[in-house]
Structure 1
Amino acid sequence: MNTSQEQAEQLFAQSSSEMQADHFDTAEALLVKALNMDPRLAEAHANLAWLLDRRGSVSEAVRHYELAIELQPDNARIHLNFGATLAELKFFHAAEAAYHKALLVDPTLPGTWCNLGALLAQNGRDDEAETMLGKALALDPAHVAAHFNLACLLLRKGRFEEGWHHLEFRDWYHPAEERLRCRRWKGQSLQDRVVLVMCEAGFGDMIQFCRYVAVLRAQGAAQVDVLSHPDLKPLLQTLDGVGDVFAMDDDTSASDWDYWVPVMSLPLYSGTRLDAIPAVIPYLQAPADRLVYWRQKIDQLSPRPGLRVGLVWHGNPAFENDAQRSLPSVQTLAPLWRVPGVQFFSLQKGNGEREVKRFQATQPMTDLAPDLKGFADTAAAIEQLDLVISVDTAVAHLAAALGKPCWLLLPAFMTDWRWLEERTDSPWYPQVMRLWRQPTGNDWAPVVAQVQAALQAWAQPVKPAN
């Protein structure tokens, strides 16, 4: 072995240590140096590809994966990671081929079966996907990602009892669990017990599942407290039967709970089936102190008569499927501007908020965002509207939980499990939520055309019969 090869391998070893310590920039620099000394170091190409993909340099990542595979075609993990990058790029056939190559080399890697199952589920091949995910779990019964992917598939198909079981293997709430001294609730008797419901995942998840506070009280719990995202605290204090509501950064050291439970475990231990979803609507209210302000403000902006419609067209850009679930621009909704008798209000915060000002001259919309300081304000504003039209984000859950009609625009690709399949209604929000689904691809035009026609029918004054 020559000196340059030795030095390259030493740099590769150092980079691996830096990757394990999450020092990704340092690791990348070391790998670049290693490959300059020895460009035939296959695993260095593979690790560099993973790092490049992680920071968004996907085309460069693909190049290094291809070099790694050329140098080491019998490395299943390289094929596996390459497949994941191709799937991220939505090169689905190429990703599937990469996963199959990984399985030919080593069929014992559960991660390959899991990724292949997820890919097939994303593309509507559900029976095959369930088989692949089952193989992953046969190899590793505790494989978190395989359980989660299978849970999403089963729940989307309405197979709730199986789906909740697999969802229970998620592990993202563990950091918060460390601060709690009480036992985890897993269906034990709650008679005269004090329970803490802990938030997890996103705002929409908490808004959807906080309804189970009332279910726990009905099961005999003496008190049900909630540990919440700080921004949701004022809103969750309006839940019927709720005890104390704490923000995540509040001091809870004096609390004495018998049990704690992550909020998304409540459907499992409450025995929720598709035909038995607890759905007493509304179950949230806007805080009273914000209602007065928003009633006066919107009455000034939009005197009656006239239909008041709130709009949200972008979700959190960090969400995995945001490129599909969010609209390309507020201009995608432009056909709605032609419906007479409607006053539109922007409830859009964050990504997309600037578009309201940019296109102000061409759209009849009032921007409420500057005064929306949190979910309490958003709830109070929604209470003054007749309808909310939204992409799949927390505001849609909020509107429906308040009992406000909500039209939800759903992507064809990776539609979230909670909206099930093919339905135009939601059993989670009966009578108030209407689902509008993309037929195929990423084309929102047919959806917006249908919404325009329905809005026209609603806004059109009813003529008295002769």
Structure 2
Amino acid sequence: MPDPIEALLLAITHSRAGRYVEAETILCDVLAAEPDQPNALFLLGQCMLADGRAAEATSFLARGLALRPTHRDGRVALARAQMAAGEPFDALDTLAPLVGDHGLAAVHTLRGTALNALGRPAEAVDAFTIALRGSPLDAETHLNLGNAHSDLGKRDLAERHIRNAIAIKPDLAEAHASLGHLLAETHRLAEAVACAQAAIDLQPDFAAAHWNQGVALLLSGDMAAGWEKYEWRKRRFPDSFTNPPGLQWDGGPLDGRTILVLAEQGLGDTIQFARYFPMLAARGATVMVECAGSLVLLLQAMPGVAIACTRGERPDHDLWVDQMSLPRLFRTTLADVPAPTAYLQADPARAAHWNRLLPVGLRVGLVWAGNPLHSNDANRSMPIAALGPILDAAQGSLISLQVGASASEVASLPGVADVTEHLTDWKETASAIASMDLIVTVDTAVAHMAGALGIPVWVMLPYAPDWRWMLDRTDSPWYAGMRLFRQARPGDWTGVVDQVAAALAEVVRPAPSAFVAPYTIAMPPLTWSVAPVTQPASSDAK
């Protein structure tokens, strides 16, 4: 082989020209002769990283850094590879010896990126701010700082830095996409759509930009265009989608065929779009639904559903479809949303059981928090301390339907009954909700369940709501019995609660005097008898 120095220089030439395979071949020869050559290890790792093989790159870069721990560029390269491999904790550890050097902009940009990935935006802001002192015209750092500010709800600062990024680097597609997302959150929907389009013009296959544009279109009520763009969710979040065997339904004939509907995203999404199952059956299909286990009993009893099974069971079928593609395939618009009144039914016997056990008088179900793992939970869930005016207005008629991590907080709410230990699955929850006169909730699956059952429901929404609630309206085309209460400003739950309390005071009648302290309603153990389900034979028609 040639002289090692000449070989390294030749490998550098190949790598700078993007000829990574040629560079790697030379470097492997160098390492075969001299396994502990740190420069070859560093360069090989960087070639692999540039070639999209982050996991392999980390191995060689770590070997090089072990041999030369003071090699600053090698340490930065290893951190980049660790970030690309989805290892932000490791990247922070790798960068730790360089944190004190505020002149290394790349170090602090990487640290900020890792901190953001770990859900620590306040620390990320500090890191990006330090990075900009050393490199004030770095467009990517301005963009990252803007995104971190956005995560903290500081939208003015976020917009300033994202616009700085665009001014410095107008062809930075990610900045246009991020600005579009931010503008949608601040209700500037036409601008949001335009920004997303600017990103798409620069990078036609940019899934996040198409997704952001779809969300803005749906928020504006433009369902026809919005549903088309919403299909990009599958490329935006590819790990959430797996195609089963068979053909994907394209809206064509269904007579005599079995179709497997794949529930997706959250429980509320499954409940909201379950309205389409009877429509599939009406076209002659045998409908099978793959969903979360807690929804199986509820959906199995739904008209038009032949089989409901847990995720991964995948019974034999002719066709399949992702559930949230159904509005597009049925060409749903604001004018013809199907089944806005009621399309689910509670078990009559269980509902009667709940009616006997719950207190006489007005019954108002209450939920103040969603799943803490939800990406927007910090905005959509309400601090329990904010509920005071609702408690006063309800005059003891509240019944907690809160589940999950926040369920125990009911102990601090005077006069609120607690039945959550009996909400064992969504079929039981549906029976409890059907026994209520009204549901007051933040944006959770309970809101969808109440709406699907036709029970009046008031939903308390953050300033930047989910796309399905649109903007500037107090009703929802999805649920006829729903009333929406919106924040006038980001984070302003006080105004929302005051509105709900005033509306509640108009409908509340005095409740029994027993509602004076938190208490738990005692119920006998719940048992279910479920007949075995026989899977229908798959049709020969393909």
TM-score with structure 1 setting the length: 0.89
State the match for 2:188 in structure 1: 125
State the 1:297 CA deviation. Answer: 2.8
Matches within 5 A, 1:341-380: 343-357=397-411, 359-360=412-413, 363-380=414-431
Spell out the pairing of 1:224-303 with structure 2 (5 A cutoff).
224-249=287-312, 251-252=313-314, 255-279=315-339, 281-287=341-347, 290-291=350-351, 293-298=353-358, 302=359
8 Å CA contact 1:277, 1:428 repeated in 2: yes
- Tell me whether 1:395 sits opposite 2:446 in the alignment: yes
Q: Shift of residue 33 of structure 1?
A: 2.2
- Indicate which of 249, 252, 260 corresponds to 1:196: 260
- The whole-number CA distance in structure 2 between the counterparts of 1:309 and 1:30 is 53
Whole-Å separation in 1 of the counterparts to 2:98 and 2:265: 39
Q: Find the residue that maps to 2:483 and give its secondary structure.
A: strand
Write the distance in 2 (CA, Å) between the matches of 1:248 and 1:6: 49
Shift of 1:12: 1.5
Aligned partner of residue 80 in structure 1, secondary structure: helix
Partner of 1:68: helix, strand, or coil?
helix
Q: Read off the aligned partner of 1:326 and give its amino acid letter.
A: S
Deviation (angstroms), 1:4: 8.7
The residue number in structure 2 matching 1:26 is 90
- Over the matched positions of the two proteins, sequence identity in percent amounts to 38
Note the 1:46-445 alignment, pairs <5 A.
46-171=109-234, 174-175=238-239, 177-178=241-242, 180-218=244-282, 220-249=283-312, 251-252=313-314, 255-279=315-339, 281-287=341-347, 290-291=350-351, 293-298=353-358, 302=359, 304=360, 306-329=361-384, 331-339=385-393, 343-357=397-411, 359-360=412-413, 363-411=414-462, 413-430=463-480, 432-445=481-494
| Contact kept in structure 1, 2:461 and 2:486, CA below 8 Å | yes
* Distance in 2, Cα, partners of 1:105 & 1:22: 28
Task: Tell me which amino acid in the other structure corresponds to 1:196.
Answer: L
In 2, the alpha carbon distance for the partners of 1:74 and 1:313 equals 44
SS at match of 1:352: helix
2:309 is paired with a residue whose SS is strand
Matched, 1:448 2:508: no
CA distance in 2, matches of 1:293, 1:9: 69
Tell which deviates more after alignment, 231-240 or 445-454. Answer: 445-454
Could you give the per-residue CA deviations for residues 50-73 of structure 1, whole angstroms, max 9, x where no partner exists? 112233443332222122222233
How far the C-alpha of 1:396 sits from its partner, in A, is 0.6
Q: TM-score, normalised by structure 2?
A: 0.77
* Equivalent residues of 1:187, 1:270 under 8 A apart: yes
CA distance in 1 between partners of 2:428 and 2:265 (Å):
22
Greater mean deviation of Cα atoms: 3-12 or 378-387? 3-12
- 8 Å CA contact 2:121–2:149 kept in 1: the answer is no
Shift of 1:240: 1.2
CA distance in 1, matches of 2:103, 2:395: 68
Q: Report deviation, 1:332.
A: 2.4
SS at match of 1:275: helix
Q: Which amino acid aligns with 1:148?
A: W
Q: Describe the shift of the 1:280–1:128 C-alpha distance in structure 2 as closer, same or farther (beyond 3 A).
A: closer
Letter in 1 for 2:374: F
Please give the alpha-carbon distance, in whole angstroms, between the structure 1 residues aligned to 2:231 and 2:415: 46
What is the identity, as a one-letter code, of the residue corresponding to 2:206? H
Following the alignment from structure 2 to structure 1, what is the Cα–Cα distance between the partners of residues 93 and 161? Answer: 27
SS in 2 for 1:211: helix
Secondary structure in 1 aligned to 2:447? helix
Structure 2's unaligned 5+ residue stretches are: 1-38, 40-66, 511-542
Q: Aligned partner of 1:348: which letter?
A: Q
Q: Which has the larger radius of gyration?
A: 2
Mapped contact 1:307–1:341 kept (Cα < 8 A): no
Higher alpha-carbon deviation: 194-203 or 289-298: 289-298
Query: Aligned-pair distance for 1:342?
Result: 5.2
Q: How far did 1:460 drift?
A: 4.4
2-structure distance, mates of 1:60, 1:154: 33
Root-mean-square deviation (Å): 2.4
Q: 1:260-280 CA deviation, whole Å, 9 max, x = no partner?
A: 111111000101011011025
Equivalent position to 2:76, from 6, 12, 16: 12
Classify 1:57/1:326 alpha carbon distance in 2 versus 1 (closer, same or farther; 3 Å).
closer
SS in 2 for 1:435: strand
Deviations 1:287-330 (A, max 9, x none): 456435433432xxx1x3x111100011122333323322221x
User: Deviation at 1:35?
Assistant: 4.2
- Worse overlay, 413-422 or 441-450: 441-450
- Larger displacement relative to structure 2 (289-298 or 255-264): 289-298
Amino acid in the other structure paired with 1:344: L
C-alpha displacement of 1:179: 5.8
SS in 2 for 1:243: strand
1:4-29 per-position Cα deviation (integer Å, ceiling 9, x unaligned): 99611111222222222222222211
Name the stretch that deviates more: 282-291 or 258-267: 282-291
Q: Deviations over 1:418-437 (max 9, x none)?
A: 1222222111111x111122
> Which position in structure 2 is the counterpart of 1:464?
none
* CA distance in 2: counterparts of 1:152 and 1:335, whole angstroms: 33
Segment drifting more, 383-392 vs 140-149:
140-149
Separation in 2, partners of 1:43, 1:126: 34
Q: Partner residue of 2:533?
A: none
Q: Deviations over 1:193-214 (max 9, x none)?
A: 2111111111111100011111
Alignment length, in residue pairs? 444
- One-letter amino acid matched to 2:151: E
Q: Distance in 1 between matches of 2:237 and 2:427?
A: 25
Within 1, Cα distance between the matches of 2:74 and 2:394? 70
